[in-house]
Amino acid sequence: EADIYQTPRYLVIGTGKKITLECSQTMGHDKMYWYQQDPGMELHLIHYSYGVNSTEKGDLSSESTVSRIRTEHFPLTLESARPSHTSQYLCASSEGGTQETQYFGPGTRLLVL
């Protein structure tokens, strides 16, 4: 069973606020990912990391930033939330190697008013 956690699960916040979405995994996985997904729609990769101190932007341009100071932790930050940031954010991790099953967290649903 995958051990990857996201908090908060739901967040309603006003425009202009700074927010950090937390993601933690206890599997020791090197690779971690952030996806943005509008409800019932496709996934868009916005950030990924190969390991500590490694972060890369994904396919979809995002105003968010990420950090990877510890293997198990990959937080995503929005400095100034806007209504266009309203979406679901999914965190995932994978072991790295030849077979790259990704384990997903339950997601954070963000609503920016």
Partner 1 sequence: GEDVEQSLFLSVREGDSSVINCTYTDSSSTYLYWYKQEPGAGLQLLTYIFSNMDMKQDQRLTVLLNKKDKHLSLRIADTQTGDSAIYFCAEMNTGGFKTIFGAGTRLFVKA
The widest CA-to-CA distance across the chain, in whole angstroms, is 43
Q: Which two tokens stand for residue 29?
A: 């996985």
Nearer to partner 1, 14 or 39 (CB): 39
| Residue 109 CA: distances (Å) to CA of 9, 22, 60, 83 | 6, 12, 18, 13
Find, among 16, 43, 23, 46, the residue nearest to 112 by Cα. 16
Question: Please, what is the minimum distance in Å from the beta carbon of residue 103 to partner 1?
Answer: 8
Interface of this chain with partner 1, residues 42 to 71, rule: CB under 8 A: 42-43, 45, 48
Is position 98 an interface residue for partner 1 (rule: CB under 8 A)?
A: yes
Nearer to partner 1, 16 or 96 (CB): 96
Interface of this chain with partner 1, residues 28 to 47, rule: CB under 8 A: 40-43, 45
Nearer to partner 1, 12 or 41 (CB): 41
Q: How many other CB atoms are found less than 10 A from the CB of residue 6? A: 19
Q: Under the rule (CB under 8 A), what is the footprint of partner 1?
A: 40-43, 45, 48, 90, 92, 94, 96-107, 109
